[in-house]
Structure 1
Amino acid sequence: MRAAYASVTKPDDPLAALAVGDQPEPSPPEGWVTVEVRASSLNHHDLFSLRGVGLPADRLPMILGCDAAGIDPDGNEVVVYPVVPDPPDPRGFSLLSERHPGTLAERVAVPVENLLPKPAGLSFLDAACLPTAWLTAYHMLVTRGRVADAEAVLVQGAGGGVATAAVVLASALGKRVYATSRDAAKRERIAALGATAVEPGARLPERVGVVIESVGAPTFEHSLKCAEPQARIVVCGATGGHLATVDLRRVFAMRLEILGSTMGSRDELASLLDLVVQRNIRPVIDSTYGFSAVADAFAHLHSGDVFGKVAIDHLH
């Protein structure tokens, strides 16, 4: 079957590690099933894998991709939850494409309990954008950030999949949302999603109860300064640098919580799907590529000039 996979790993040139071609058909163990993939989407996790982050040489070649929507063996339209129990992993789990082949293929094997019904009103492409970036944003806001107890939210570095999802979800949950971006055009698009868009480091008209932080070193001081007493700063990444300076005086004086966050649960994905349908939300899709152009999709993601998700239509 055709697939996009890491043939080698190249820390300094991830696109050179990407291969597109034939890979073996899935061989699902007991309790797993094979899903016919109709759509998937890319994440920075895929580029990290091509760099060799979390993907040692003894697991190569590895089919990439965490996100998918498709058809199960009984003909049901499903969304794939990409987290698989993995006791040897320090986290206790791994994502599809880390130890088990991923979703950027014609078919993927997953545990049967990892399948959720795709809502009828949601396209395969929209559904395939939700399981990683949107679930991460939902978990950061609702579970880790306890956004129900907050009036206002700051999203740092809006433009990528998680950040744009956080803006849309926080707005849908009735919160005042502020979002930063260095790019004036992206700030304009962020404002159209319901946020007050500001330049990085700008003074906000109020302090916020939740900060969604995925940038790291360049924005973390600003995140601390924008946080109200007992606010939650929820961290899911550090795209701008992981060695942030933290003024501990502000942390203890303001009684701040700094919380790490990764992915979310299957039940949270089910709740996210319900919320998307109930509030008539659709994921922000930057661009859609046919599977035959998946290498171009990777190049586009790698360029950094992306607003929202890069989706893959497996039927083209």
Structure 2
Amino acid sequence: MLAAYAARFAPHDPLSALEVGDRPEPEAREHWSTIEVRAASINHHDLWSLRGVGLREKQLPMILGTDAAGVTADGREVVVHGVIGATGHGVGPTETRSMPSERYPGTLAERVAMPTWNLVDKPAELSFAEAACLPTAWLTAYRMLFTAGRAKPGNRVLVQGAGGGVSTAAVLLGAAAGLEVYVTSRDAAKRARAIELGAAGAFEPGGRLPAKVDVVLETVGAATWSHSVKSVRPGGTIVVAGATSGDASAAELQRIFFLEISVVGVTMGSKEDFEGLLNLLVRTGVRPLIDTELPLARAGEGLARMHEGGQFGKIVLTV
């Protein structure tokens, strides 16, 4: 079957480690199902895998991808909930959690095997391409806002960075839920797009906000951490789900303890979060913003666009 995979590790040139070609069919496993993939989306996780982060040489070649929507052998249309092992379903109670492409082959393929428990019915209102955007970025944004951040209508939220999957999802979900969402970006065009999607304000990185916020969504790390700590109100919450610019060199602990700021970590979300996200999209009519849609055979173009940082929304590969 056709798949996009890490053939080697290239820390400084991740795209050179990517190959798109024939890979073995998924192995049959008890309590697992094989899905005919209709669409899959790419994430920064795929670029980190190509760099060798989270993988070992003996695991190569490894099919990339954490997100997919498709059809099971009995005709059920499903979306993959990509947290394997958190509950023990399909892998046993002692296995630690992982994502597709970390311990088991990923979703950037014509077919992928997943624990049957991890399959969630795709709402008829969503296309396969839209559904494929949800399992990583949109689920993370949902959990950051509503489960970890406990944001409520009228709250102010700062989203560090504009244009990526998590930040775009946070703007759309936040606006639909009655939140006042601010975003930051170095790119004036991305700031303007964020306003069009419902953001209440868009600022250059480090820019002064109109007011302190209740919740900060932090996925950038070192480049924005100090601004995040200074922007949240006393008693507010910073939710961290990534550090694409590296770990912050100074944690600013004095400000955190003196102002009683909560710092909460998030990695994707639970199956219950995922079902809540799907229900929210059906009720509100909010849909993922798709930047680019390409056939699986052109996965390299999609990953190159993400590597360059030019996307606004999700990049989807169709099968």
Same fold (TM over 0.5): yes
1:229 matched residue in structure 2: 234
1:202 to 207, 210, 213: 207
- 1:33 positional shift: 0.8
Which residue matches 1:266?
Answer: 271
TM-score by length of 1: 0.96
**1:37 alignment partner, SS class:** strand
Q: Does 1:163 align with 2:164?
A: no
Secondary structure of the residue that 1:85 maps to in structure 2? coil
Correspondence 1:137 to 2:141: yes
Instruction: Establish whether residue 123 from structure 1 lines up as the match of residue 127 from structure 2.
Output: yes
Aligned-pair Cα RMSD in Å: 1.7
- Distance in 1 of aligned mates of 2:95 and 2:292: 32
Number of residue pairs aligned between Structure 1 and Structure 2: 314
* Pairing 1:185–2:195 present: no
* 3-state SS, counterpart of residue 93 of structure 1: coil
1:28, distance to aligned residue in structure 2 (A): 2.4
Displacement of 1:306: 1.2
Match of 1:246 among 240, 247, 251: 251
Q: Report percent identity of matched pairs.
A: 55
Q: Which runs of 5+ in 2 are unaligned?
A: none
* Equivalent residues of 1:28, 1:110 under 8 A apart: no
Q: Which runs of 5+ in 1 are unaligned?
A: none
Q: Aligned partners of 1:55 and 1:172: how far apart in 2?
A: 38
**CA 285–30 in structure 1, closer or farther in 2 if over 3 Å, else same:** same
The Cα shift of 1:229 comes to: 1.6
Deviation at 1:73, TM superposition (A): 1.4
Distance, in Å, in 1 between the alignment partners of 2:153 and 2:318 is 39
Q: 1:287 aligns with which of 268, 275, 292?
A: 292
1:215 aligns with 2:220: yes
The whole-number CA distance in structure 1 between the counterparts of 2:269 and 2:251 is 26
**CA distance in 1: counterparts of 2:13 and 2:210, whole angstroms:** 42
CA shift, 1:231, in A, is 0.5
Distance in 2 of aligned mates of 1:175 and 1:91:
38
Q: Deviations over 1:89-147 (max 9, x none)?
A: x9920000111011111100011111111100100000000000000111111111111
Once the two structures are TM-superposed, the CA of residue 248 in structure 1 deviates from its matched residue by 2.2
Whole-Å Cα distance in 1 between the matches of residues 206 and 3 of structure 2? 42
Structure 1 residue runs of 4 or more that deviate by more than 6 Å after TM superposition = none
Which of these residues, 275, 278, 282, is aligned with residue 283 of structure 2?
Answer: 278
Report SS of the residue matched to 1:147.
coil
Give me the whole-angstrom Cα distance separating, in 1, the residues matched to 2:38 and 2:249: 40
Q: Structure 2 length normalisation: TM-score?
A: 0.95
Return the letter of the residue paired with 1:268: D
Q: Which residue of 2 aligns with 1:311?
A: 316
